[in-house]
Amino acid sequence: MKMYVLVLNCLEDKYKIIQGSHSVAKYAIEHRISFYVWNNETIVYLGVRNPVELTHWRDRLLAKKKLISCFREPDLFNTLTAVACYDDGKILRGLKLA
């Protein structure tokens, strides 16, 4: 099991890290037990093309009953910019590293 962070590839690299970090911090608050189980082990940043694709993945993860945390950037009109998920990653196959 790993912490997967889906971020927008259209962001500069430094903003991918920032937005992804916000989603992981939110995950720590919203899903404490799962976060402690993860124990700061492996984290994988995966890139998606745009907010529509990120929303698709968010909805797909929720439909599979995965624990996720989403971050919306206030400075980008509350656009969904990152989704964190602690999982085995099978559902995320096919996504490339950010």
Q: How many domains does the chain have?
A: 1
83 in a domain, yes or no?
yes
95 in a domain, yes or no?
no
What letters, b where the CB count within 10 A reaches 16 and e where it falls short, cover 35-55?
beebeeeeeebbbbeebeebe
96 in a domain, yes or no?
no
10 in a domain, yes or no?
yes
Write the pLDDT tens digit of every residue in 60-86: 999 999 999 999 999 999 999 999 999
Domain at 63, CATH number: 3.40.1490.10
The secondary structure element, H or E, covering residue 63 is helix 51-63
Could you list the residue range(s) of the whole structural domain that residue 7 is in? 2-90
Write the pLDDT tens digit of every residue in 19-58: 999 999 999 999 999 999 999 999 999 999 999 999 999 9
Q: For residues 73 and 78, what is the distance between their CA atoms, to the nearest angstrom? A: 5
30 in a domain, yes or no?
yes
44 in a domain, yes or no?
yes
pLDDT at 77: 96
pLDDT at 86: 98
pTM of the model: 0.96
